[in-house]
Amino acid sequence: MDLLKGKTVIVTGGTRGIGKGICKTLLKEGVNIAFTYNSSENIAKDLEREWTTDISKVKAYRSDASDFEQAQSLASQVVEDFGSIDVLVNNAGIIKDNLLMRMSERDFNDVININLKSVFNMTKAVQMTMLKQRKGSIIHMSSVVGLGGGAGQTNYAASKAGIIGFSRSLALELGSRNIRSNVIAPGFIETEMTDKLEDKVKTKWLEDIPLKRAGTPEDIGNVCLFLASDMSSYITGQTIIVDGGML
- Could you give the C-alpha distances from 244 to 28, 90, 105, 157, in angstroms and in order? 24, 22, 34, 19
- Could you give the C-alpha distances from 133 to 120, 129, 214, 233, in angstroms and in order? 20, 6, 38, 15
In the sheet where 58-62 sits, what is the strand order? Answer: 58-62, 32-37, 8-11, 87-90, 136-141, 179-186, 239-242
Does the active-site annotation cover 156? yes
Give the dihedral of Cα atoms 207, 208, 213, 219; nearest 10 deg.
-170
136 is in an annotated binding site: no
123 is in an annotated binding site: no
14 is in an annotated binding site: yes
57 is in an annotated binding site: no
Beta bridge partners of 60: 35
13 is in an annotated binding site: yes
52 is in an annotated binding site: no
149 is in an annotated binding site: no
Binding-site residue numbers are: 13-16, 91, 156-160, 189
Binding-site residue numbers for NADP(+) are: 13-16, 91, 156-160, 189
What are the catalytic residues? 156
